[in-house]
Structure 1
Amino acid sequence: MHFGPETYAILTAVAFLAGFIDAIAGGGGLLTVPAMLSAGVPPIAMLATNKLQSSFSSGTACWNFSRKGLIDWRTYWPTVLIILILSGVGAVVVQMIDTEALNLLVPILLIAVVAYVIFSPRMTDDDVHHRISAVGYAPVGGAIGFYDGFFGPGTGSFFATSLVSLRGFGLTRATAHTKAFNFASNLGALGIFAFSGQIIVSLGLCMAVGSIAGAYTGSHTAMRFGAKVIRPVLVTICLCLTARLIWNALH
């Protein structure tokens, strides 16, 4: 499939902004998915190519947070592995069944996330007592990973709020682990899409350049300003995703 240089330039710029937003609160696909569809990328190829560029974005943010010691790999590597595997399973399953029901369910879940972020006193940078252990969280993370491979919108928000509410993480620490989990879920789904041969590699790699720069900038912004920037961005992204999904369901 051939695209002109202006298409590559526009989509790379969109990927930069998406990478920046994604590193802070997730939801970068809110920008890249409609932009790629508008450029004429077929739906399946769009999903596959988007996973390629977003893997670079989440990987860059993950590396930045890990470098600062904000990711506890020793405790959470089993969860990362489970997420990797189950996201691949989700990518297989989504090619076999109808996803229309999720178009109605996900907006409800995202509204619940927004309500929790706005009203919960836990949404700060302070760690509090956890409700479940790291081992107990693994199935929760795995379920979200499956969802990311299967459908995707709001994955970062679900990871972040579940880590805050269930593991008692402060918002910056939750965002750091979200990037590790999101990187794993992206890689799991990417492997399945790569096997199917649906990825437009040249476009994905070009967008990856923009997403890497955006993720690097966004992750540093999140670490510098913490909850006071993460919280409003998280609310905004959830509301935008909700509005878009409701619009898609009604049309």
Structure 2
Amino acid sequence: MDFTIYHGLLLLTVGLFAGVINTLAGGGSNLTLPALMVMGMPAEVANATNRVGIFLQCLTGVLGFKKHGKLDTDDVAPILWPTLVGGLVGAVAASYAPSWIIKYLLLGAMLAMAALMLIKPSVVAPEAGTEARKMKDTPSAKWSLAVAGFYGGFVQAGVGFILVAALAGSLRYDLVRANALKLVCTIAFTSVALVVFIARDQVLWLPGLVLAIGYIIGAHYAVKFAIKAAANTLKWFLFVMTLVGCIAALWF
């Protein structure tokens, strides 16, 4: 595949927007996956290459949220292990699965999330002042996190929505802290997924790293916005991005 200046500018642009969307909600890969595939990559290679930027974007976001005191680190380990197990299983499945499955899994997840936010929005956006729960007091949360990890390991696109639903719905974190922990979880299963994809030689490094630059810039500015934004603004942004995700899944 020939990598041109046009390709580089395209990836930088969509990466920047995707970095913002992923950090504040989810679904940024609905932009980046089609952009990679337009360049001639098969779906499974685009899916693998996209993870390079996802990893670096999440690292940027986590460091930003931690700097502003919005990352609850005391419950990270219990949250991570079911996510990692799910991510490993999902990544192995994705590396062997036919590419058409990705579209239908993405569409189903986006429709389910949109329906949940319409029917019971408090599940993914707890009321202000709601006290977060600990993993040890909420054993059912490990199953929702494992499912989110599997989905993230398999397709990545839209996993932010699934993780926010698990963290805000099961553990009752507010949207800012749920987004911070979401990025930690995404780092975990993306690391596992990258190992699998690299081992199977499915990552194209040059476009992956150029895309990552856009992701990093977007994540940096998204954290600054999230810290200052009202909770209701973040909730509506999450809802709008869910609807966009549904449309993108149909188009994709």
Which TM-score band applies after superposition, normalised by the shorter structure?
0.7 to 0.9
Provide closer, same or farther for how the CA distance between residues 8 and 105 of structure 1 changes in structure 2, counting only shifts above 3 A: closer
Offset of residue 58 of structure 1: 1.4
TM-score, normalised to structure 2, is 0.88
Provide closer, same or farther for how the CA distance between residues 138 and 211 of structure 1 changes in structure 2, counting only shifts above 3 A: same
Offset of residue 86 of structure 1: 2.8
Conserved 8 A contact 2:87-2:192: yes
User: Aligned residues, how many?
Assistant: 247
Query: What does residue 212 of structure 2 align with?
Result: 208
Provide closer, same or farther for how the CA distance between residues 125 and 219 of structure 1 changes in structure 2, counting only shifts above 3 A: farther
Does 2:178 match 1:174?
yes
Structure 2: 5+ residue runs without aligned partners?
none
Offset of residue 20 of structure 1: 1.1
Say which of 193, 196, 202 aligns to 2:200: 196
CA distance in 2, matches of 1:166, 1:82: 14
**3-state DSSP of counterpart to 1:126:** coil
Identity of aligned residues (%): 25
Offset of residue 121 of structure 1: 4.0
CA distance in 1, matches of 2:166, 2:106: 15
CA distance in 1, matches of 2:3, 2:103: 30
CA distance in 1, matches of 2:86, 2:228: 33
RMSD, aligned CA: 2.3
TM-score, normalised to structure 1, is 0.88
Provide closer, same or farther for how the CA distance between residues 61 and 133 of structure 1 changes in structure 2, counting only shifts above 3 A: same
- Note the alpha carbon deviations across 1:195-227, whole angstroms, 9 max, x for none: 112211111111111110100101211111042
Counterpart of 1:140, as a letter, is S
Query: What does residue 71 of structure 2 align with?
Result: 71
Offset of residue 22 of structure 1: 0.8
CA distance in 2, matches of 1:98, 1:41: 15
Offset of residue 37 of structure 1: 0.8
**3-state DSSP of counterpart to 1:35:** helix
CA distance in 1, matches of 2:74, 2:193: 24
Query: What does residue 57 of structure 1 align with?
Result: 57
Provide closer, same or farther for how the CA distance between residues 6 and 104 of structure 1 changes in structure 2, counting only shifts above 3 A: closer
Query: What does residue 23 of structure 1 align with?
Result: 23
CA distance in 1, matches of 2:91, 2:112: 25
